[in-house]
Amino acid sequence: MIHDKVLELAKKYEPEMTKFLRDLIRIPSESSQEKQVVLRIKEEMEKVGFDRVEIDPMGNILGYIGKGKHVIAMDAHIDTVGVGDPSLWEFDPYEGKEDEECIYGRGASDQKGGMAAMVYAGKIIKELNLEDDYTLIVTGTVQEEDCDGLCWQYIINEDKIRPEFVVITEPTACRIYRGQRGRMEIKVTTHGLSCHGSAPERGDNAIFKMAPILLELRALHENLHYDDFLGKGSLTVSEIFFTSPSRCAVADSCTISIDRRLTNGETWEKALQEIRNLPAVKAANAEVSMYTYERPSYTGLVYPTECYFPTWVLPEDHVACRTLVDAYTTLFDEEPVVDKWTFSTNAVSIMGRYNIPCIGFGAGHEEEAHAPNEKTWKKELIKACAMYALIPITYVNKVK
């Protein structure tokens, strides 16, 4: 049976796949610094037999297999966050440490493991001649950690690529994920009047104006909308800034950043208005707005966007979800867990903005993301690789 051969080859190529992953981990690639890891991925795609490999003007890498009419994409972002406090790591985060069970290092789960598994799935597709009436595009995308989905805004709008569905290979512990909460990056600013700190009554302290707003935001968080599948909306204050002539002066402005998570049924307009309606915001005449993102990619390209990342949910009976469920049960002879992500992915643009169906499956665990001593599991890389090899032909057989 073909699924047995797919799984056999995924196991056979585990040493090559993990070696490739270790190479990727050894190349630091924080957002807007991904050039060298992109070139390493290009080298491996060409080595295993991809039909065509391109790097677009933003710096995303796109590997193609097949020329059929059904366009399917699989996506891994290949940037990472930094390492944080080095003293919290028990090993060099860029060593690519390996033992019998795991690969360790920054990006192992989030989410260079997904890229490694996709590339070797491509090798299996070519070796077993699993090409059919589909074109598979494997994308290694940039700047996701900084601005999730921006890369796919570019791919859809500028590269003019619109797949029938996209597999997001972020970590799911080899479960199938069909949705996530959206998010917004919001700023609230109060204004005051500076004066000498020895006579604060002469001024108007912008930091004091912010204090009751913070308390009301904490209360607002407790009362946000709840969805049966995605759970409750949330907010947290993540940053605080001020301006003042000196330490011996009254602050003349204060700004906070809010990480707002949007559950199903919430909109960005509603989220902003809830904050604008707070009594302390009105009393302070505070400004409430969304951040924008305008950081250049490693190629120098700037592609501005508002920091709004929409919620998305794929119905459980959608053909993309059924495709992954069937591929999973065929390969592993058990029913998969179908669930959702807690964090955000590139699907905020792909499905959230453009309504292109997304479904998630990946090696690694969410709790490893952005944490010290990050790792992923070899057995999960094998499962993910086998899934990615079988998904395209499973889908085509469903829609014929």
200-232 burial, b at 16+ Cβ within 10 Å, e below that, comes to eeebbbbbebbeebeeebeebbeebbebeebee
Q: Nearest 5 degrees, angle CA 251-CA 295-CA 349?
A: 110
To which residue do tokens 């399917």 refer?
72
Percent of the chain with pLDDT over 90: 100
The pLDDT tens digits of the residues spanning 145-167 come to 999 999 999 999 999 999 999 99
Amino acid at 335: E
For residue 199, list its beta bridge partners.
none
The stretches of the chain forming alpha helices (DSSP H) are: 2-12, 14-25, 35-48, 113-127, 150-157, 206-222, 268-276, 279-284, 319-332, 347-350, 378-399
The pLDDT tens digits of the residues spanning 25-76 come to 999 999 999 999 999 999 999 999 999 999 999 999 999 999 999 999 999 9
pLDDT of residue 3: 93
- Identify the burial level of 293 via C-beta atoms within 10 angstroms of its C-beta, where 0-12 means exposed, 13-18 middle and 19 or more buried: middle
Nearest to 162 by CA among 355, 5, 374, 384: 355
The pLDDT tens digits of the residues spanning 328-369 come to 999 999 999 999 999 999 999 999 999 999 999 999 999 999
Indicate the SS3 state at residue 204: strand
CB 364 within 8 A of CB 117: no
Q: Residue 321's CB: how many other CB atoms inside 10 A?
A: 21
To which residue do tokens 């204004």 refer?
191
Catalytic center residues: 79, 144
Model confidence at 181, pLDDT cuts 50, 70, 90, reads: very high
Q: Which two tokens stand for residue 326?
A: 């069937």
pLDDT beyond 90 at 171: yes
pLDDT beyond 90 at 400: no
Structural domains of the chain, ranges and CATH numbers in brackets: 2-180+311-399 (3.40.630.10), 183-293 (3.30.70.360)
The pLDDT tens digits of the residues spanning 189-242 come to 999 999 999 999 999 999 999 999 999 999 999 999 999 999 999 999 999 999
The pLDDT tens digits of the residues spanning 252-281 come to 999 999 999 999 999 999 999 999 999 999
| CB proximity list for 82: less than 8 A, separation 6 or greater | 30, 106
Average pLDDT, the chain: 98
pLDDT beyond 90 at 115: yes
